[in-house]
Structure 1
């Protein structure tokens, strides 16, 4: 493996992905788009699976604009409108992918809905929404892609979800969200277990810090000095798709993975800072979305309730 044109870190060695095909949910912006660009620069064809077909002020980018950007990198890109709450959309996405490319090699379950509230403050319609999108949507996509991967004896399932928590304090203020996100992690682990030895791996991946994205801006999750670039996760994805078949069943934190598996140093990680001379706090590494004391540092619902959420939130200074 040679130095990667798709990676931000010059130390990362990545396989040539020419001819391979990746489905990426939520690929119109943020982490999903960063992964799409990184894989495309390595020659991978991309299925842009997301809901946005018309650009909005708070949600820039569409499946069509991202597909065009990827095609300019010299790969094929297939834009598919997918609402992960609708099984027919997921089935249609997989069908269109197979019809166009005849294969699926990589699945990145990135799209998800955010809801950081206490149990008593979680309406059941919000619980249903996040579990339908996060747990059920990623499970359905994985369920449909795995048999296609198995035919070629190669597959990489990567779910953007946190390590499972056994400390009960990790659920304070995040119970519904944790249920939905841990379901994503379990789907990755299930893929790893059920397809072990068949050329298919399953891993979950989660950031140690808040990541620069439209969500971090819309939800006002601190300033840029508290964020890392989305490319830290896309670099991890490049590493995972290039790894051997026995690197599977892992629940990974981005910076720990890059240091332990790819031998990046703490100094090497500076390339991912949003503010070059400020190292952001690893607020998400130990407790998912919590401060070191285990107390919820911020509560967030959806964008439409942002003002209400900000009023109910504690200070962000501990993030």
Structure 2
């Protein structure tokens, strides 16, 4: 029998009844998909995000997602959180413990995108992405870990790429990599410092562009080259269900599902946005140090998308 939260019928997921997950950036896209998947497994969800009023380019609010979650038979707690604000993060953790008395799962998903050369990166943009991505994830992780430790169970998952050492991986991505590798280091630190104490840490990154509001707003290729966000939520379900001994991994979604859960390349077809087209694994190739697909790709302020598109030569196959 397939697990209710998983898209793949092959995935076997633990019963999460009574568990509590904080998911940052969970009003849409990957974060929301993870929230729904965990809720279907019985997990209570804290929607920690900034959007409280719907906007044309940013549908969904912490309240609308909370309503959807509660229709699945679990409890939801919407909390307005700006990941740049330590006070917001502290209040989110306080309210979570006040309502549920525990924290079991943290998914650091909230993130800001900036794919530009060093000289095209103003310090205010550098500060923005590092404050949201690296600093925000570190703060949330540090505040959640003590509560996980009390119950001897915790799962920290950061939506961030494997750390690379080859210098060419930084061409056009220096500031972004600093911020995203910082998220990965948070997960690795949690794994190392709590090894053997029931708490695990992992980073998780997509092999392909994922269908989301960001991929639409930033025009990251066509839908036939995207996968559904469910591939990441399925991977999250697997990691949450994994034994405590499985920890400290920097993972690519499809590789993890194949290596640890036995999915075949044919099984992965369920995650295609276009059922007839297998998307390019451009992000996986880049994460493994092969930048040919993304060389010259530029994205920054969505209001300056036309300029970025004219300057971009990357993702030519998308």
TM over 0.5: yes
Work out whether 1:254 is the aligned partner of 2:253: yes
1:78 counterpart residue number: 77
Partner of 2:42: 43
Q: 1:317 to 1:109 in 2, by over 3 A?
A: same
What's the counterpart of residue 182 of structure 1? 181
- What's the offset of the Cα at 1:12? 0.2
Secondary structure, counterpart of 1:186 in structure 2: helix
1:26: which partner in 2? 25
Q: 1:292: how far off?
A: 4.7
Contact 2:169 2:291 in 1 (8 A): no
Deviation at 1:286, TM superposition (A): 2.4
Give the TM-score of the pair, scaled to structure 2.
Answer: 0.98
Distance 1:219 1:291 in 2: 22
Query: Please, what is the CA RMSD of the aligned residues?
Result: 1.3
1:307 maps to what in 2? 306
Answering whether residue 153 of structure 2 is matched by residue 164 of structure 1, we say no
Q: TM-score, normalised by structure 1?
A: 0.97
8 Å Cα contact 1:291-1:297 kept in structure 2: no
Distance across 1 between alignment mates of 2:204 and 2:284: 11
Deviation at 1:308?
2.2
Structure 2: distance between partners of 1:106 and 1:84: 17
Aligned to 1:119: 118
Q: Which runs of 4+ in 1 moved over 2 A?
A: 288-295, 315-319
Query: Which runs of no fewer than 5 residues in structure 1 stay unpaired?
Result: none
Check conservation: 1:284, 1:290, Cα contact below 8 A. no
Query: Gapped runs of 5+ residues in structure 2?
Result: none
The whole-number CA distance in structure 2 between the counterparts of 1:41 and 1:105 is 16
Write out aligned runs for 1:194-273 (5 A). 194-273=193-272
The total of aligned residue pairs comes to 318
1:165-222 deviation per Cα after TM superposition (whole angstroms, max 9, x unaligned) = 0111110000000000000000000000000000000000000000000000000000
